[in-house]
Structure 1
Amino acid sequence: MEERMISFDLSRLPEKFERNGLTPKCLSTVVNQMKSSGQLQPVSHYQKSNGWLLWGFNTLVKQPVFWGVTQLIGSPKKDSDVFVCPDVVKVIAAEILEIHQSCVKFSVVDSFVSLAQLKQSCQHLIREDKDFDIILTHLERANHIALSQINSGDVVVKFRREGESRVSFEEIDFNIYSIKMAVEKLEKEIDSLTSRIDRHLLEAKANVKEGRKKMALMCLKRKASLQKLMERKMGSLTMLHEIMQKIEEARTNEMVVRACEAGVGAMKALNQEVTAEQAESVMEDLDEAMATQEEVNTVISSPISTTEEEDLERSLEELLREESEEQIVKKSHFPPLPSFKPGSKYSVPEADTITPEEDDIAAAFLNLDIDDLGLPEVPSHSRHSNSDQHRKRETHSPAFMDPAS
């Protein structure tokens, strides 16, 4: 499993890479390269400073000069040279923020937590106190949390709420934190009272089984007294929960008011750019354009006049009459007859080459009857009787007689 080291002592670093009594010789070279690239920072970079001026001096002036001197003359001998891994610090800090967000029920009240509670909830991520201080310093510089000490001596951590640009303590924050502490204390007392009530009830049942009625009655009296005390504390707890709910609503109302103020400012700025006279002029132009468009639509959709419709009907009748005359001419014209010339094939003459005489001959040919052709009559006997007579004539013919006879 990969060990996420927040900080380490450079003098003890070879022990972590020792295998079979051997350590890598290039370890110091790798560490120097990581320091020069910013992947390692001295622990003094994460120490508490009196202000941003001192922190900026240490970050921008002291550390670069110290690194340059160590590159020239070598690092001075120290009993302890502790360095921090900034990438690991950022990852663990992000995980702490996620843990806090998962526990938030009221955005205002739950933004406060004691340092002891925060350390306990992050115990599985950070094992050593010095590493926990490094993470807190990083979160504070990144403007995610603010730290303050109250009158009781406890250190309070305030997380930045959603929508806030910066986090800092105000007088009202300590009052809200007191309400939260009272709620947590009452919840613990109610849990303790519940356990004591259940224990007295079990003792009363045990005494009844053993026949000790007076002891059982005493246990029931204690149970009843604790029951009344618990009911009073539950009433107080309910009242404090209602106060917390009201605080949350007030916070929401504050956000709404600020949003309305921003909206009013934006509307005022826009109204300065667009005046009422400009809006009125634009609306008049819009009405005029819409009226013009309506007139165009009326003209386009108006029906055709009676005079134009009568002219169209007369044109249609004239076209129909011309079409009818063309059909009559086509029906009265006969198709041309083929012409034949000796020694040539039949060919269909063109309509323009037909003479009036040829046209009369074709008409006479069409009026002919079959009787006018003078063809012989068709015999009435059958084909079989005709063939018998023909065979008889052949047998009596001299051409078929035997020459010897």
Structure 2
Amino acid sequence: MVPSNLGEEMSTEVTLPPEWEDDERMNFLFSDFKENRDVNTKDWDSKIDFWTSLILKICRSRGTVCFNLQELNKIFQRKGFVPLGLGTVIQCMARCGKIQRESEFAANVDCGWVSWGFGLLLVKPLKWTFSTLLGSSGVTLEESFVVIELVKEKAAELLGVYWSSPVANCSLLSFQELQTLSSHVCIDESTLCMALLQLQREKQVTVSLHEGEKIVKFSQPGQDRVSSVSDVDLGIYQLQRSERLLEVRVEALGLEAEKCKEEARVLLREGKKSQALRYLRSRKRVERKADRLNAQLENVKGILDRIANSETDKLVIQAYQAGVSALRLSLKDGTVEGAESLVDQIQELCDTQDEVNQTLAGGALNSTDADTDELEDELRSLLEDSTLDRPSTLPEVPSHPLSPVRESGSLCDDLLCALPLVPQSLFNITDEELDKELSRLTLADTCLQQKDRTSPVKRAESAQ
């Protein structure tokens, strides 16, 4: 339900439209609607659109999803006047599906929330439907309405807050814990209840009562819908609650023990030794009690760890079962005999392919036998051409005529005459180089003599 002071808060926080200062325009908007819309459709629709958008703007700016006529009259009061047609605006918004009566909104969700006593304003029985209200002459001042668009936005925001919170791993939450968690999202209890009702309508939340305590279970990310509250969920919830209580008590005992120690120190400084001893004994008793609670706390944590591990093991077993089923289906039509037969067929095909390749390779070699002799002849001709192209190491033939033929004993003189003249200029020639040159000349002379003895005819022709 909308708080009673909502009108005062909104009037200072909400920015009203510019035409709010236009007296002529506001007089028209504050006037009542004609009984028949067909008399002036344009004026009727413009007034409906103005007030509808302004109501949605106010609810969104305040973070609430509910309103009633009494609060709207306080918000829109201007110069001592209130709008006369807000009841008609509310009826039109309901016919369009933009709003819904709070009691009807709760009744459309299959849950026991009405018995929770959430502070919902149920001024009439739930069987008193909204159509009955619209058939009456007007809208009651206290009747609360839910804005469908805003409650859906608030529900999505609440679900995101839970998923991103540290308590998202808790299967169940108490209503008080949820109120603390969502205090920055839902400004009051009614807004939180409407958001939870919308989430339950979307199958994202389930609610129940356990030992008089209101508990809520959210769906986990990736789930299409939330599961019902099971005995395992309740057991885990009780263990987690016991864990939190033990932690609080252990912390309180620790503070008490420290306080006894400080009191004993002060009394000892004052010389009150006997009183200081009593405080020290009290400190020992508190510490022993804290140790017992710590042992219980460790046992509870151990049980919770085992439950968490069992859930993990359950998921692993389910994965193994799914894998076995998939493997069984994949090998349904496969046997060892079939695999052996398939391997034999593959081997036969490979052998056939090898034979075909060998046959083709042999045919290619036979086809080249006829051309072998021709290729060898071509290779021999290439070798001869390379020999002819090799540069000669013999000296060039002299271009000037030789001297007349002398006696056979003077062949060396003829050779010397055929050589070019010695340059008159001086060269830096060493004795060793001259000896080497003389040796070459002597060797050349010997070769010529041997050639002369074996072929006198050619020597005579050369002399001519």
Q: TM-score by structure 2 length?
A: 0.55
* Contact 2:67-2:145 within 8 A present in 1 as well: yes
Separation in 2 of the partners of 1:209 and 1:128?
54
Q: CA deviation at 1:298?
A: 6.8
Corresponding residue for residue 179 of structure 2: 119
1:199 aligns with 2:255: no
Separation in 1 of the partners of 2:67 and 2:238?
39
Q: CA deviation at 1:111?
A: 1.0
* 2:62 aligned counterpart, secondary structure: coil
Corresponding residue for residue 98 of structure 2: 39
Corresponding residue for residue 382 of structure 1: none
Matches within 5 A, 1:201-216: 201-216=261-276
Unpaired runs of 5+ residues, structure 1, are 53-61, 329-405
Matches within 5 A, 1:2-401: 2-17=61-76, 34-48=93-107, 51=110, 66=131, 70=134, 76-104=138-166, 107=169, 110-151=170-211, 153-161=212-220, 165-272=225-332, 279-292=339-352, 308=368, 311-312=371-372, 314-315=374-375, 317-318=377-378, 321=381
Separation in 1 of the partners of 2:156 and 2:215?
20
* Contact 2:171-2:233 within 8 A present in 1 as well: no
The residue type paired with residue 139 of structure 2 is: K
Separation in 2 of the partners of 1:284 and 1:64?
80
Separation in 1 of the partners of 2:246 and 2:372?
100
The residue type paired with residue 241 of structure 1 is: K
Q: CA deviation at 1:226?
A: 0.9
Q: Deviations over 1:323-360 (max 9, x none)?
A: 989xx9xxxxxxxxxxxxxxxxxxxxxxxxxxxxxxxx
Change (3 A) 1:247 1:317: same
* Contact 2:265-2:276 within 8 A present in 1 as well: yes
Change (3 A) 1:298 1:204: farther
Separation in 1 of the partners of 2:361 and 2:84?
96
Separation in 1 of the partners of 2:103 and 2:195?
13
State percent identity of aligned pairs: 25
- Which stretch shows the higher mean deviation, 116-125 or 235-244? 116-125
Corresponding residue for residue 43 of structure 2: none
The residue type paired with residue 171 of structure 2 is: S
* 2:208 aligned counterpart, secondary structure: strand
* Contact 2:163-2:220 within 8 A present in 1 as well: no
Q: Deviations over 1:245-275 (max 9, x none)?
A: 0000111111122222222333333333556
Change (3 A) 1:228 1:313: farther
Q: Deviations over 1:184-209 (max 9, x none)?
A: 11011011111112222222222233
The residue type paired with residue 148 of structure 2 is: P
**Aligned pairs, number:** 314
Q: Deviations over 1:75-94 (max 9, x none)?
A: 64323342222333233333
* Contact 1:14-1:23 within 8 A present in 2 as well: yes
Q: CA deviation at 1:122?
A: 2.0
Separation in 1 of the partners of 2:300 and 2:359?
76
* Contact 1:48-1:137 within 8 A present in 2 as well: no
Q: Deviations over 1:147-205 (max 9, x none)?
A: 22223x21222233456654112223322222122111101101111111222222222
Separation in 2 of the partners of 1:42 and 1:215?
68
* Contact 2:172-2:237 within 8 A present in 1 as well: yes
- Which stretch shows the higher mean deviation, 19-28 or 310-319? 19-28
Change (3 A) 1:279 1:45: farther
The residue type paired with residue 86 of structure 1 is: I
* Contact 2:172-2:215 within 8 A present in 1 as well: yes
Change (3 A) 1:158 1:262: same
* Contact 2:109-2:201 within 8 A present in 1 as well: no
Q: CA deviation at 1:212?
A: 2.5
Separation in 2 of the partners of 1:236 and 1:289?
74
Q: TM-score by structure 1 length?
A: 0.62
Give RMSD over aligned pairs: 4.4
Q: CA deviation at 1:292?
A: 4.9
* 2:229 aligned counterpart, secondary structure: coil
Change (3 A) 1:296 1:245: farther
* Contact 1:41-1:85 within 8 A present in 2 as well: yes
